[in-house]
Amino acid sequence: MKRFVTSILLVAAAGLAQADGLQSLEAFMQGAQAGKADFTQTVTAPAKDGQAARSKTSSGQFSFQRPGRFKFEYRKPFEQVIVADGKTLWMYDADLNQVTQRAQAKVLDATPAAILASAASVQALRADFDLKAAPDQDGLQWVEALPKAKDGQLKSVRVGFAGDKLAAVDMLDSFGQRSLMRFTGVQTSASLPAETFKFVAPKGADVLAP
């Protein structure tokens, strides 16, 4: 009996070890309805005219509630806020004291935001992305998402997971610019306070609606 139980545990452990990025993505989308994390983002422009590639790094906090609500608060080196409240995408640049608002449904379907917060399920994601498991790297399980729309600015997205926890997003756009975002201190929950995703334009800010 003891040998039988041990065999079952070994089989279960092997199954966990073989979990790939797609399975991790599905577990994340099913189990993390809301959450928050700190992030560091490094954007690298491609080498041009014989010059080396240039990188710039920023950091802040990310919050989300599925489906359709998220918030990026960039704190360093410049303050910027991006909020999706379910209907409108708001972008605030503190240095310019300028707010841009756009209809959320028109701009988020084939973007990393759909993977992180907007889509309700992996099946819903497949409407806009071709999904496949990518090789493990840096101790993470990765899934690659290729936009089905070929006329957008996004060329590819890879999302990395530590088990069912979000760990990284690696994006490549059509201009060859790469953006790598790493998440730490990830906390998930059933919901977040409604005011988390409420945006009110600062007094005196210019509000643009292209």
User: For residue range 85-108, what is the model confidence (pLDDT) as tens digits?
Assistant: 999 999 999 999 999 999 988 877
Residues above pLDDT 90, as percent of the chain: 55
**Model-level pTM greater than 0.85?**
no
**pLDDT given for residue 10 in this prediction:** 30
Which CATH number among 2.50.20.10, 3.20.20.60, 3.40.50.620, 1.10.530.10 corresponds to the domain 20-47+54-190? 2.50.20.10
Q: CB–CB of 92/44 below 8 Å? A: no
**pLDDT given for residue 110 in this prediction:** 59
**pLDDT given for residue 11 in this prediction:** 30
Chain centroid to Cα 8, Å, comes to: 36
**pLDDT given for residue 149 in this prediction:** 81
**pLDDT given for residue 94 in this prediction:** 94
- Residue 79 is given by DSSP the state -
Q: How confident is the model at residue 80 (pLDDT cuts 50, 70, 90)?
A: very high
Domain boundaries, the chain: 20-47+54-190
Q: What is the pLDDT of residues 152-177, one digit of tens each?
A: 788 999 999 998 899 999 999 888 99
Q: CB–CB of 182/40 below 8 Å? A: yes
**pLDDT given for residue 166 in this prediction:** 93
Q: CA 52 → CA 48, 49, 55, 179, distances in Å?
A: 7, 9, 10, 16
Q: How confident is the model at residue 121 (pLDDT cuts 50, 70, 90)?
A: confident
CA torsion angle 140 110 173 44 (round to 10): -50
